[in-house]
Structure 1
Amino acid sequence: MRKIILAALTLVVGVILWYLFLKPSDYTVRFKADTFPGAINQSLKLWDRNLDPVEKIHQENDLYHLIHKVKFGDSIHSYKWTIEPLTDSTSRVKVNIKDEDHSLMNKLQVPFFDTDFEKRSRKTVMDFMEVLKNHKEKFKVRIIGEEEMPTKYIAYLPIKCTQLQKADEMMKNFSYLFGSLVESGVEFDGFPMIEITQWDQETDSIHFNFGRPIIRSEKLPIGTDIQYKRIFRKKALKAEYFGNYITSDRAWYALLDYAKKNNIDVEKTPIEVFYNDPKSEGNEIKWRAEIYLPIKESK
């Protein structure tokens, strides 16, 4: 009996010591989100801009783990977000929160009181949940499945920017690119499009070609910044995106989740085809784009 009591006391003391000095968080908030991890990841990064961050939110190894630090009064709170996909359209989110300056005091109080730290933590997470709810109502992604990207000859401009800047860069270059083609009498062969050539998911930076399919002829502008290439027919995963083209990259993440779930090896170089002119259609949810994620060829 003495050994049993001693073992129990050792276990209790061990748990207490772990809780007070080794447990990485002071408080944990969990919630379920009706969207996929990529949309949560990008929403977190946008939302973080409106806080008072001590350091910019960043990913830890992959898009499912993020961390940021926010200053509240004289304290710095560390938020570690873990996103777990449940289905094609739902995720589970866990937020481990720690007050870096008053961690021990929080751990002593949290089990017995509803502290200001807990209230602040819940409010911060709930604020993000509201932002996420509003965001997911502004776009739709429909996975179509495997299709073939058609062969197209395109005139394009190479651009480097962040994912958030993508639509703005397209607008900046629209008049120059298409104006030059129209003035030269070039015949179009499809809708405006972009081809991602590099995608750094950790920094959200991209290199892409912004252009339009054309009929190859002797009328092409030469000696300008405009370049030309052929995109060859290739198997790809396809999705339809409805919403503002600023956030059409949400479909990239949905396709990546689909590929992972179905064990399909893909290239992280999406192609987007835009079917609406934002200047002529005020309802953003009616803006449509087709998104292709190329499937790697088997060797």
Structure 2
Amino acid sequence: MRKGITITIAIIAIALLWYFFIKPQDYQIRVVAKANIGTINQALKAWNNTLPEASIRQIKDLAHLEQMVASGDSTHIYTWYAKPINDSTSQLVIDVKDIQHSFANKLAVPFSDTNFEKQTRKTVTDFIENLNAHKKEFKVTFIGEEQLPSTYCACVEHKTLQSNKAFGMMKSYPFINSVVASNKIQVNGVPFIETTKWNIENDSLSFNFCYPIIKTDSLPAIKDLIYKEFIGVKSLKAIYNGNYMTSDRAWYTLLDYAKEKNITVNPKPIEFFFNNPNMGGDALRWKAEVFMPLTDQDE
């Protein structure tokens, strides 16, 4: 009997030690989000930028992010983990820790609904509401595989953050338009971007914003304008409707499809734009054809 009591006390002591000093979170929330992991990743980063005192960083991969939010005399750490349920729904697990008051929170949480818990739930609810509103602002339709044609083009090079891609395009639109018009260059299609480097970890992006043109011997040499041959490749294709600032949501749809079907792709998306964002209008009527090149072009 004494041995049984000793073992029980030891188990309780170990459990308490783990709960108060080893358990990483003070509180955990689980919620289903109606979005894929890439959209959640970008929406969470964008929403974080609207908070007065907060920072966020991606850890491991798209599915893991760590957010620090100032709250009064405390700093709350939110560790977000997203796990796909299907192609449009994910399970979110959020671990939350109050750096300054972790022990007190762990002591109080099992016995009462603390202000810390209420604030944490409100923060997560605010994000989910923001995500749901964002989902209504765009539409992505997966199409399949398609061979892109080759074309000659006039381009402007950009290096920026992924979220600033559309601003680079808007800046280049009038510049290339004026060059084309003043030099009577014949356009041969809609403008597009050709990604040359995409760092998924830190959201940095290098791309060429291009106008397809007819190649001639009299093309003018213009500062900041380059002429190049775009080589068409076989790619996965999706249609994006919405503001071009968030057309990268289609990139994640294509990456998810490739992963699900065990298709190897080159993560350098190509986008063709059928509307001029400088003209405004209902963004849901804007259209972009989005492509993710296949790595094996022989199949």
Bin of the TM-score, shorter chain as denominator length? over 0.9
Q: Report the CA distance shift for 1:127/1:222 in structure 2 as closer, same or farther (over 3 A).
A: same
2:181 counterpart letter in structure 1? V
Secondary structure of the 1:126 match is helix
Secondary structure of the 1:62 match is coil
* CA displacement at 1:224 relative to structure 2: 2.7
- Report the counterpart of residue 262 of structure 1 in structure 2: 261
Aligned length: 298
1:267 counterpart letter in structure 2? N
- Which deviations, in whole Å up to 9, do the C-alpha atoms of 1:196-236 show, x marking residues without a partner? 10111222110100011111112322243211111222111
Secondary structure of the 1:297 match is coil
- Report the counterpart of residue 282 of structure 2 in structure 1: 283
- Tell me, in whole angstroms, the C-alpha distance in 1 between the residues paired with 2:231 and 2:150: 4
2:57 counterpart letter in structure 1? H
Q: Is the 8 A contact 1:243 1:285 kept in 2?
A: yes
- Report the counterpart of residue 247 of structure 2 in structure 1: 248
Q: Percentage identity across aligned positions?
A: 46
- Report the counterpart of residue 218 of structure 2 in structure 1: 219
- Tell me, in whole angstroms, the C-alpha distance in 1 between the residues paired with 2:167 and 2:265: 27
| 2:17 maps to 1:17 | yes
- Tell me, in whole angstroms, the C-alpha distance in 1 between the residues paired with 2:150 and 2:290: 15
- Report the counterpart of residue 106 of structure 1 in structure 2: 105
Secondary structure of the 1:118 match is helix
Secondary structure of the 2:62 match is strand
- Report the counterpart of residue 128 of structure 2 in structure 1: 129
| 2:29 maps to 1:29 | yes
- Report the counterpart of residue 178 of structure 1 in structure 2: 177
1:34 counterpart letter in structure 2? K
* CA displacement at 1:297 relative to structure 2: 2.1
Secondary structure of the 1:63 match is coil
- Report the counterpart of residue 156 of structure 2 in structure 1: 157
Give the TM-score taking structure 1 as reference length. Answer: 0.95
1:147 counterpart letter in structure 2? E
* CA displacement at 1:2 relative to structure 2: 4.4
- Report the counterpart of residue 194 of structure 2 in structure 1: 195
- Tell me, in whole angstroms, the C-alpha distance in 1 between the residues paired with 2:212 and 2:4: 78
- Tell me, in whole angstroms, the C-alpha distance in 1 between the residues paired with 2:49 and 2:280: 29
Of 147-156 and 91-100, more deviation after overlay is shown by 147-156
Structure 1 residue runs of 5 or longer lacking an equivalent are none
- Which deviations, in whole Å up to 9, do the C-alpha atoms of 1:107-159 show, x marking residues without a partner? 00000000000001000110111100100010011111221121121110101
Q: Is the 8 A contact 2:187 2:212 kept in 1?
A: yes
- Tell me, in whole angstroms, the C-alpha distance in 2 between the residues paired with 1:109 and 1:281: 52
- Tell me, in whole angstroms, the C-alpha distance in 2 between the residues paired with 1:196 and 1:59: 22
* CA displacement at 1:7 relative to structure 2: 3.0
Secondary structure of the 1:265 match is coil
| 2:61 maps to 1:62 | yes
- Report the counterpart of residue 39 of structure 1 in structure 2: 39
Q: Is the 8 A contact 2:234 2:297 kept in 1?
A: no
Structure 2 residue runs of 5 or longer lacking an equivalent are none
1:116 counterpart letter in structure 2? N
Q: Is the 8 A contact 1:153 1:215 kept in 2?
A: yes
- Tell me, in whole angstroms, the C-alpha distance in 1 between the residues paired with 2:52 and 2:15: 35
- Tell me, in whole angstroms, the C-alpha distance in 1 between the residues paired with 2:5 and 2:226: 79
2:232 counterpart letter in structure 1? R
Q: CA RMSD in A?
A: 1.5
Give the TM-score taking structure 2 as reference length. Answer: 0.95
* CA displacement at 1:258 relative to structure 2: 1.0
Secondary structure of the 1:164 match is helix
Of 9-18 and 149-158, more deviation after overlay is shown by 9-18
Secondary structure of the 1:130 match is helix
* CA displacement at 1:279 relative to structure 2: 4.7
- Report the counterpart of residue 8 of structure 2 in structure 1: 8
* CA displacement at 1:170 relative to structure 2: 0.9
* CA displacement at 1:62 relative to structure 2: 0.8
Of 7-16 and 143-152, more deviation after overlay is shown by 7-16
- Tell me, in whole angstroms, the C-alpha distance in 1 between the residues paired with 2:279 and 2:124: 37
| 2:64 maps to 1:51 | no
* CA displacement at 1:13 relative to structure 2: 2.1
1:173 counterpart letter in structure 2? S
